[in-house]
Structure 1
């Protein structure tokens, strides 16, 4: 039975690849106290184990999935990357550049001290920085060095060995340093500084950051002395613009009618009104009594997701936007930003960026009229624009093909680098001119996760035969050197963020998590702070570092 299975896997390597991901991916999802080694590490390890059966699989298979993965990365980080480089996130973008340079520099120095060849050095960099995308670019760069087939195969094997040995601490190290050691090292009371930041931004400072947009719906019967009697609904709502109340329905006798702007309120009307608790109490302090009308209160309040694309909204604070006519009568319940759709705290001084996804609630006619002024409805479930996606991948790959010789050193963006920048261009274009190039969130997730893990699976299977020999050659020292390459840039980044860049104490740890591309660290920071404020410092550094660390896969090979 065993012989039959081995023969089947050797003759049909596609089965071995799918088996690798099927076993490796779920292993990487297990968490202990919010920390996991990640699906990439476990898939790679399983691939190495299965690769011991001496299975040959074409590297072209890995290339196809890797290009899909890189396009997905570029598409997701495009808006924040462009904004960070060109607009108001320049300081955070510069911080990410510095951290990436320190990561690359540390890997280079350590590789020289340890005497590693190009393969081990590139794997050390990619694994310690958890830059899975850099692994593919390093592989491409090594294949372009003009070495013999055996030398290239050996070097790529060394690359995979070093990546596997350093990736696990590369994942866990930033989580521990940023979320656990960081607050102590920088002497930051994270919950306290986040509450103080929320207060400065116009919130209540109770940790949630949601009091500004918190709303309730109540029903009131208008009495004879009600100041609303004889006035139109739109007039009453406009008079309460700063407290943001809106009427939804009216029970008039036995009839329930929609509360249009021109509807005149009458004595005895029972109205359903949404707003903050304090504003409703003030509006109906006299001339009204609160009643319970289940039919009027049973109004679906599901939100509508809207992508901000209009320049008029870009960079404006929520306090400024609340005064505009298009936002009157609607409530904001969620802001998602950046590559991972991170939740941003809703505070009066929170600035909105193009590409942000806002979840709005309110009367349907209000929301319909506001969507055109803000941007477009987020139709994430629509079909993928396959033509644009694959055309951009092809164009990006073609741009990356040419090789420039600098003396004896070949310099090239590579197909992978070209596709990454094509994805950034497509993502940015989609965020500002959403007329074509749609790629739903679910498809981006699939291209990102499945593309990466299939690429890693091929890498592990291919490197399997040489992995044991590589471990015997470098031993435990490679793991220890990897700990240094991971820890030094992250620790220095914490100190630079606070004392040189002088980021706010509430944001500096989030900036470090972004610059280290550690989403898990951001999650633990938010949990510890009981606030989404750290996410305000995360998105731009994450987008910039994700891009630069990927390109670092080419640079480390060129340097060595």
Structure 2
């Protein structure tokens, strides 16, 4: 044990990876529907490992924190700036007002119980589940005119308060928004009914609408059939067959034909299907199965079915598509044979209903015959070709420029204040993320790489925070006591309940948007999942993306503001 202790002290990088491994493991353990999550797990393990009095360079923490903040801004940038347009302004204003409450409530509670700057910052970070506040607040504390010892005491207090208040901040938020908030709007049955009514206006469950638009995860299939004289296809042109099937609300497409002479051809609208031909149909699986008895005998033919089909993610960019509904898009000539598989907005799955409106920057997943895909992708926007490479020129330049701007300071009352390099990296991420949405040919960060920047970046920062604060953690906990848990409950609950009331009575949002907007402004994805499960609808996601982008930005910046308010 002495050897292990000495080794970790000599090679602190090993202690960091031990903290990450153990923290992710602890964070993944579920009790019912609740888990601590990776951030809290890593923090607690960092505190335990930190009992070995391991010294870690602050530069390690800074590097990973800047990477994390840039990734956060990059992810939400398109939605953040889109929200500034006229149709998104109500949600932006709501999110901004709610974020102000998220600042004021913990600040007043901190003043009332006599917390210091570090404890107040930790309270905001944990109760609002925004871990990055600790890094931004620490940078700001280091600029305040205090002794190095006083600064370190305050910085070490943050993870203590964060750990104590984070549990209710996560689980309590999900419970409040999925159980208590619907009661404030007349009860869960009333909210569910309102969601179903809105879904109907958007085309969900309407048999007269394109059935392929009902779900965000459409199982599209390609199947081959032998045509005989009794088939409804016999003697009809390809166009006639597709129209007849469409009139039955079974939107199917003829993709390939093997003629009686065994020659495989691509179908034309005028081609007459004859008995003895073999055809390939594409469409939603259940509707193909529903027509099997009238089409013909299914055959397994590798040669006939061996043709290139793609799943392509397309950025919605072209003005002719932005603002269209899914139904209108689906009716375009270039969409023949190409269903919309899913829509993601700022990484959040959107309900794919016929009347759902497409917005600039949406990721639309298309599936279909390769020969048709290029035309459709070009008409919609830009095909996001899968790649494993991250544009590190873009990432590095963004962090440097943001950090340089953040490092500039102004003096207030003789105290030099700035956004800090962390705040600058966040703003640079917002701008560079928006630029990527406008010009997607460059600045690509693949999803796996973005996950690493977000999760490994934040958790490495948290690991170093925990290891550094470890020796003083127990003493800090004794100072704040269990009363902090109750203070944390109040700090979590007040903004959420106020947010629901503002959304309902001031902004008069639809009940689904009330819940989605409130979850988004508090950046609580866990609550969004709980809400959707409880109301039995995906509609709350429509209110989540813009408010999430605003909340993720403002709540992090509150790390600077809380220090100014408390000093």
What TM-score, normalized by structure 1, do the two folds share?
Answer: 0.91
Matched residue, 1:432: 438
Matched residue, 1:312: 320
By how many angstroms is 1:276 displaced? 6.2
Q: How does 1:94-493 map to 2 (within 5 A)?
A: 94-186=93-185, 187-189=187-189, 190-204=191-205, 210=214, 219=225, 221=227, 223=229, 229=235, 231=237, 233=238, 244-255=251-262, 257-261=264-268, 264-268=271-275, 269-275=277-283, 289-295=295-301, 303-338=311-346, 341-493=347-499
Partner Cα distance (2:175, 2:484) in 1:
20
The CA RMSD over aligned residues, in Å, is 3.0
Change (3 A) 1:209 1:175: farther
8 Å contact from structure 2 (residues 226, 296) kept in 1: yes
Aligned length: 554
8 Å contact from structure 1 (residues 314, 352) kept in 2: yes
Change (3 A) 1:426 1:258: farther
SS at 2:168 equivalent: helix
By how many angstroms is 1:230 displaced? 7.2
8 Å contact from structure 1 (residues 110, 485) kept in 2: yes
Deviations 1:414-454 (A, max 9, x none): 11111011111111111121121111000000011001111
Matched residue, 1:73: 72
Change (3 A) 1:284 1:25: closer
SS at 1:292 equivalent: strand
Which moved further from structure 2: 455-464 or 259-268?
A: 259-268
Matched residue, 2:516: 510
Deviations 1:145-191 (A, max 9, x none): 13221111111112222222222221221011112222233223254
Q: Does 1:33 align with 2:39?
A: no
Q: Does 1:545 align with 2:546?
A: no
Change (3 A) 1:380 1:526: farther
Partner Cα distance (1:315, 1:90) in 2:
16
Partner Cα distance (1:29, 1:225) in 2:
54
Q: Which runs of 5+ in 2 are unaligned?
A: none
Deviations 1:304-353 (A, max 9, x none): 22222223222221122123222232111211221xx2211111110112
8 Å contact from structure 1 (residues 514, 538) kept in 2: yes
Q: Which runs of 5+ in 1 are unaligned?
A: none
By how many angstroms is 1:463 displaced? 1.0
8 Å contact from structure 2 (residues 233, 273) kept in 1: no
Which moved further from structure 2: 238-247 or 69-78?
A: 238-247
SS at 1:334 equivalent: strand
Change (3 A) 1:322 1:156: same
Change (3 A) 1:208 1:411: farther
8 Å contact from structure 1 (residues 162, 478) kept in 2: yes
Change (3 A) 1:271 1:108: same
SS at 2:508 equivalent: coil
Which moved further from structure 2: 4-13 or 419-428?
A: 4-13
